[in-house]
Structure formats: structure tokens, C-alpha cells
Structure 1
């Protein structure tokens, strides 16, 4: 699917590839290309094994497929592949629950497509701290949305 490939193109450079478990910027145990291992912040990483690149790719594809399913359930209007990809990366990064609760979703479902980029840019905070990496990622999603 084109939208999954495009979403992975956004995600990979921002997530980076880590074959050993690590804590993401807010403390969640993570591995591969941003695959969440647990929702318990700062959990002991020794309980998870390292992975190889093939497993990291498999985890990313599963995570992206889950995000795609969420996008397709939450968005009820037509989207281009690029728009869908931007939302898939957003759901992968921010979570489907956040997409569901967002003004971004409501704006899109009202067919106010041109308002979506500004809504993406509201999601640049982690634990109330504005992160430059999230600013760049939301900009990449906005650019994908507009392409």
C-alpha cells in the first residue's frame, strides 16, 4: 500500500533505528523504529532482548498497519495517499486515541482539508515541553499532507 510506504518514509528518519531497548523522550521503553514495548515509563530495559533489522522492519510494518486501521476507522472522508500517510505517521507517533480526540480529526472530517497543516503543528509537545524533533516531524507530515 502506497500510504504505508509513505508513512514509513516519514517515520524512519525521525525514529531512527535502535536494535537495543531504550527509553523514548518521555521514558517509555521502545525498540526498533519507535516500537513501544510498554506504557510503564522508565521500566527496566533488561526485561527485553535486542532485535535485528528484520525484526525492526516487521515491528514497524505491524505498527503502521495498526495506525492505518485506526486512521481508516476515524476518518470518514476521502483522502489522497499522501494525506492518509501523514495521518498514519501521526497516529503511529501520537497514538490513535490522540487522533480520535483531536481537532485535527474533526477538521478533516468536516472536509476542511486546508486547515489540517495548522492542526498537525499543534502536536509538538511531550510532557508540556516543545520538542524540536516533533516540530520537524509535524512539518514533514504537513508537507506530506499538502503534496
Structure 2
């Protein structure tokens, strides 16, 4: 199975941010580490270190990798794969599956992908500066050669 590159993992870590302790993400889910949504039965009262957080991220990112592999029918560069995995990790498989972004990729309309990524910058009805920065970084990664 194909995996996100170290550059892609760094992009994810940069925008997810690291939290040693559990917090509520903007969507209201208890979260820890690099965007790990706490599942029933998991306990992080003592917090986690950066190594543990990275281990959770690597486990969690598999869901996004599998979704991109399943939903995209055209060959992808490492940069394109990384960007789509980051997007899917952030917004979920269903959002990616239903998106015009996915259709553009599958039709080989790669030049239109950055514009499609930048449509996904809204949170609770407001344009989020953090999401704008993330989507710009994903667009740059998508267009990169390596």
C-alpha cells in the first residue's frame, strides 16, 4: 500500500498542531496529539508525548491513504497524493468522496485542483485563516514535483 511521504506527514503535523493533553477541536470532538479524535475507551488523562502522538497520527492517516487510493483512478505524484491525504485527513472521507475536487482529479484536470482546494476554507460559516493557510499549503504540495 502507498503511504504519505515525510513531506506530507510534516505538512499534516504543521497544520494539525501538537497537543499533549485532550482538547475539544473546532467541531467539538475530544482530540489529542496531532488531531487524533479520542475514541470510546481511550484514556489520555496523563497526556501523551510527541512520539506517541506521531504513532497515533501514522495509524490515523491510514484511513485517509486508503480512501485516496480507493477514490482516485488516475496516477498521482507524491505531492498530489500527500495533498489529497492531508485534505481527507482534515475533512473526512465523505467530504472527499462527494467533492468536485475528487472529480477534477479523476478527470485529469490537475490545474483546477488548487482552486478546488481553496473552496474548503469555511468553519461554522466563517472563512478560517488557518484553513486558508492549510489549503494553500496543500495546493502547493499538490503542484510540487517531488
Q: Could you tell me the TM-score, scaled by structure 1's length?
A: 0.88
C-alpha distance in structure 1 between counterparts of 2:19 and 2:113, whole Å: 31
Q: How many residues align?
A: 140
Conserved? CA contact 2:61–2:85, under 8 Å: yes
Q: Could you tell me the TM-score, scaled by structure 2's length?
A: 0.89
C-alpha distance in structure 2 between counterparts of 1:38 and 1:133, whole Å: 25
Conserved? CA contact 1:71–1:84, under 8 Å: yes
CA distance 1:2–1:26, shift in 2 (3 Å): closer
How big is each residue's C-alpha offset from its partner over 1:76-113, in whole Å with a ceiling of 9 and x where there is no partner? 10100000000000011111111001000011101111
Q: Where does residue 18 of structure 2 map in the other structure? A: 17
Q: Where does residue 58 of structure 2 map in the other structure? A: 61
For structure 2, the 5+ residue unaligned runs are none
How much has 1:139 moved relative to structure 2? Answer: 0.1
How much has 1:4 moved relative to structure 2? Answer: 3.4
CA distance 1:113–1:70, shift in 2 (3 Å): same
C-alpha distance in structure 2 between counterparts of 1:9 and 1:67, whole Å: 15
Q: Which runs of 4+ in 1 moved over 6 A?
A: none
Conserved? CA contact 2:29–2:37, under 8 Å: yes
Cα RMSD after superposing both structures: 1.7
